[in-house]
Structure 1
Amino acid sequence: MERLCGNREMLGLLDRAAQLTGLKRETLCPDALSREAALEAIALAATLLFSHGQTTERTVTAAGRLGHALGVAVTVLPYWGELIVKVDDAPVSQIVPAKPLGIDMGRVLAVMTVIDQICDGTLPTGAAQSALGSAGRLPPASTPRFALFAAIGAASLGVIFGLLNPTSLVLIAASAAIGALVRRWLSGFISNPLVEPLCAAFIAGTTASAAGHFQPSDAVTLIGFCPCMVLVPGPHILNGAIDLARTRVALGIARLTYAGLIVLLICAGGLFGFAAGGAKLAMAASPPPVPFLIDVIAAGCAVASFGTFFSMPWRLLAFPIAVGMVAHAARWALISNAGASAPTGALVACMLVGTLTTPAVDRLHLPFAAVAFSAVVSLMPGFFLFNTAIGLVELVSIGSSTPPALLTGIATSGVTAFLIIMAMAFGLILPRMLFERAPPSPA
């Protein structure tokens, strides 16, 4: 009976029978949902997916599948700030507030599981609303786990950038852990998501400023920006780039603007922290190469930390860790052995990640941007971004007597950061788009 009541053709027959008998559809079939209830369930599912990091295309597709299972053909129109769920064969729609500000793979996985169960007939359609509500209330990663992996991730990035001094790594880990605890504390009573990265970056800057009294200048710079690197909104950048590639221009620009604003606040918080401690800012030299094994292990630790930030279940962490280590190994070989540039190494590594993760995330119903970014987080050009910011501050303080070397350094760091980000976005998105356009394999 559950399968019959969830079948679209059967629901149409029930509607006609209801018109003839004067009874409600729910009376004829207790598991069936009215059109209004089905529309509410579809809107809730789409809102949860859209708000917690699922790509726009997958959100629209999942809502359509759920609508088909509930007997209502719908079209979801996504915008920044709201979703419009429109019934195709009637002038009926529902507008729900939704901003894609969060990344929570646990909730996305739970919602997709509920949708699959309803579509397969293993979950009664009448239980859709409550099951989706329960999925949306799943807690994020615990605060101790969040703080611990923030420390591990930031220290791992320090190792990748050539900082092997134990004292410096401890300072990086402590700064990132304190920043993570402050972010969780602020999230309890401040709804503005921009405040958290600003405050965490300020803590990183003040820690680095204090370390400047007994650490070399290059180490101080890394102590300052490695904890800031764990704040970079990579999934929002990728989701925005994917929306642009699918010609959802307004939504893509909105996502990238939001991500850019966070990056700007991270840089500002770090620089304010430096200034508050009276540290002298100076652009750091290019990081020295790191031994292969150390580099790959540190990359795996960084992937694990970002998987935790995005509330990835423990059982699923092994896959992005393995992919991230393989990608970093390929990048290391290209740069160290083949003499490739940093943007080229990032492009090849990200294409490898995109190729490996696309079929897996579709099978596991995980948000592509979160999984892919977790695997390539160590490739983000944080070193060049913060070097550019430091150089600009130094340029303002020096004024007209700025040496040409400083201008060259700012331009080089800025262009390198831009090229790496473009290479990463293109490398991750291209395999995704090609997989989606490939014809299905014959049965």
Structure 2
Amino acid sequence: MSEPNTGDQVERPDPLRTVLDAAVLLQNNGQSTSTTLLAVDRLNSGLGVHGVLIPSWAALILDGTQDRSPALVAAVTPTGINMRRVSAAMRTIDRAEDGPLDLAEVRTGIAAAAILPPAHPAAFAMACATGAGALAVIFGAADARAVALAAASAAVGGMIRRALGRYGVGVLVQAFAAAMVAGIVGAVAVRLHLDASAGVVAVCPAMVLVPGPHILNGALDLISLRISLGLARLGYAAMVLTAIATGLIFGLHICGQGLPVTGSVAAAALPVDVIAAAVAAASYSVYFSMPYRMMVWPVLAGMLAHGVHWWALSVAGTGVAAAALIACLLVGITLVPLSHFLRMPFAAIGFAAVVALVPGMYVFRTLSGILQLQANASTELLAATASDSAVAVSVTAAMAVGLVLPIWVRDILVRRADHRQQ
């Protein structure tokens, strides 16, 4: 009796391993967990296997017991955002589901998607500059020097982050270093007597660092009752925000300055606001390595959102939180179907559209006020800090509800459609 060819068995590609590789790529590059699970089901269908994905923060487990295969485990690091990789992988999954597509072709497509580079360092630095400059305009920086300083600060911070990343330095240190540069440049703005615009110079480059997609993906996981994964995502985002705030305040402090707690955020005129919103959305699209052909969608959605936000504040007379809710709900209703059709991570494409609505000024002023309370617990400082905190919390909650509600409804409809097909 001849012996079985064990060498062929070892070398034969495992379809379940290919499914797991695709899930790892999606999870590591910003795709929402719900869409990753849906992609796994679709790839299962295309390859004729029945793997069940069990996601967590540190690892993905693919249970193949229905195929009498052992469970497969792969480590993940879901801290990156690279929409080029996600888009390419989803195209391969689409082709596999539609079929017929050979397993080798699927493996080749997933492997090719995994090595797609992020945005070029020069484009990344330019996007940081234009994004921060646009945010400065939206927040009412009337002095061209303030806009230029914010843009230059963000560009330098972007180059520092890429340089540190090449040497294996972690995200938290990168965020701290870039935010410290923003604080130092903000202190320079104070010495140039830019008055109220000095705070904008400090805060806008720091807002470029905010991990918005991770916050949205964490909220989506919590709503879907993936509690541990959702809390892990939000915990990671909180650590990044803490590193940003610490670096910003430290940069100001070493130059003998502090972030002003009192004062108001000026509003730009409607045409200026809408154009700046388009620039900010395009900048964040580059920042998230979005395919250039798809940038038009967050840009258009961002312009529409800011027009509605401006109308709600200036004409309808709503509060800041209500205006943010209306604008983000509109973005969600517009982009959720598009993100599903284009197979793009909604957390990234949606955040790019509404980034300029993030209450970063209020968040950082709140943190600065809390630190100042230790030495000066005056009634005025306490009231200003409490007011900034209330605005930051209410606007953030309103934005989260507006963006998450449409995708939650979409997930329900998709699950019902899948059940009907089964």
Gaps of 5+ in 1: 1-21, 28-32
1:69 counterpart = 2:46: yes
Matches of 1:54 and 1:149, distance apart in 2:
22
Question: Cα distance, 1:65 vs. partner?
Answer: 1.5
Note if 1:156 corresponds to 2:131. no
Q: 2:217 aligns with which of 220, 224, 239?
A: 239
Which of 75, 84, 87 is the matching residue for 2:64? 87
Shift of 1:248: 0.3
In structure 2, C-alpha distance between the alignment counterparts of 1:361 and 1:280, rounded to whole Å: 41
Q: Which one of 394, 397, 420 corresponds to residue 422 of structure 1?
A: 397
Larger displacement relative to structure 2 (184-193 or 99-108)? 184-193
Verify the 8 A CA contact 1:105 1:312 in the aligned structure 2: yes
Q: Which of 117, 121, 142 is residue 120 of structure 2 equivalent to? A: 142
- Matched residue type, 1:419: S
Q: Secondary structure at the match of 2:59?
A: strand
Confirm whether residue 285 of structure 1 aligns to residue 258 of structure 2: no
**Distance verdict in 2 for CA 1:144–1:122, change over 3 Å:** farther
Contact kept, 8 Å, 2:262 with 2:384, in 1: the verdict is no
- Are 1:390 and 2:368 matched, yes or no? yes
State the alpha-carbon separation in 2 of the partners of residues 117 and 91 from structure 1: 25
Partner of 1:434: 409
Question: Counterpart in 2 of 1:17?
Answer: none
1:299–1:325 contact (8 Å) kept in structure 2: yes
Is contact 2:16-2:49 (8 Å) kept? yes
Q: Find the aligned partners of 2:262 and 2:127 in 1 and give their Cα distance.
A: 26
What is the CA distance between 1:154 and its match in structure 2? 0.3
CA apart distance, 1:254:
0.4
What CA deviation, in whole Å up to 9, does each residue of 1:8-51 have, x standing for no partner? Answer: xxxxxxxxxxxxxx899x99xxxxx95x6112111110000001
SS at match of 2:191: coil
Q: Report the CA distance between 1:280 and its aligned residue.
A: 4.0
State the 1:436 CA deviation.
3.0
Determine whether 1:42 maps to 2:19.
Answer: yes
From 193, 200, 203, the counterpart of 1:225: 203
Give 1:194 deviation, angstroms.
1.3
Correspondences of 1:195-234 after superposition (within 5 Å): 195-234=173-212
Task: Report the equivalent of 1:331.
Answer: 309
For 1:322-374, what per-residue CA distance to the aligned partner results, in whole angstroms no more than 9, with x for missing partners?
Answer: 01110110010001111111110110111101100111011100001001111
SS at match of 1:212: helix
Give the stretch that moved more between structures: 210-219 or 331-340: 210-219
Structure 2: how far apart are the matches of 1:156 and 1:394? Answer: 29
Report the aligned-residue RMSD: 2.2
Counterpart of 1:409? 384
Conserved? CA contact 1:217–1:284, under 8 Å: no
State the SS of the aligned residue for 2:53.
Answer: strand
What residue number does 1:124 align with?
A: 102
- Could you tell me which of 166, 179, 195 is aligned with 2:157? 179
What is the alpha-carbon distance in structure 1 between the residues aligned to residue 223 and residue 121 of structure 2?
Answer: 36
Which residue of structure 2 lines up, in the alignment, with residue 4 of structure 1?
none
Q: Give CA-to-partner distance per residue, 1:270-323, whole Å, 9 cap, x none.
A: 000001112244214111221110011111111011111100011110111001
Quote how far apart the aligned CAs of 1:391 are.
1.1
Structure 1 range deviating more: 290-299 or 427-436: 427-436
Bigger-Rg structure (1/2): 1
Aligned to 1:367: 345
**Residue identity (%):** 37
Work out the CA distance in 1 between the residues paired with 2:362 and 2:131.
Answer: 18
> Structure 2 regions of 5+ residues with no counterpart?
none
Of 316, 320, 334, the match for 1:342: 320
Q: Which residue of 2 aligns with 1:109?
A: 87
Answer with 79-88 or 209-218: which moved more.
209-218
2:275 is the alignment partner of 1:297: yes
Aligned mates of 1:48, 1:92 — CA distance in 2: 21
Q: Deviations over 1:74-133 (max 9, x none)?
A: 100000110001114125111100021011111000111111112222532222222211
CA distance in 1, matches of 2:357, 2:254: 30
From 253, 256, 260, the equivalent of 1:275 is: 253
Helix, strand or coil for the counterpart of 2:261?
coil
TM superposition score normalised by structure 2 = 0.94
Alignment: residue pair count: 414
Q: Which amino acid aligns with 1:58?
A: T
State the Cα distance separating 1:70 from its structure 2 match: 1.6
Q: How much does 1:217 deviate? A: 3.7
For residues 204 and 262 of structure 2, what CA distance do their matches in structure 1 show?
13
Contact 2:143 2:194 in 1 (8 A): no
| Structure 1 residue ranges (4+ consecutive) displaced by more than 4 angstroms after TM superposition | none
Deviates further, 65-74 or 226-235? 65-74
Would the alpha carbon gap of residues 154 and 168 (structure 1) be closer, same or farther in structure 2, given more than 3 Å must change?
A: same
Write the letter of the residue equivalent to 2:43. Answer: L
Distance 2:153 2:100 in 1: 47
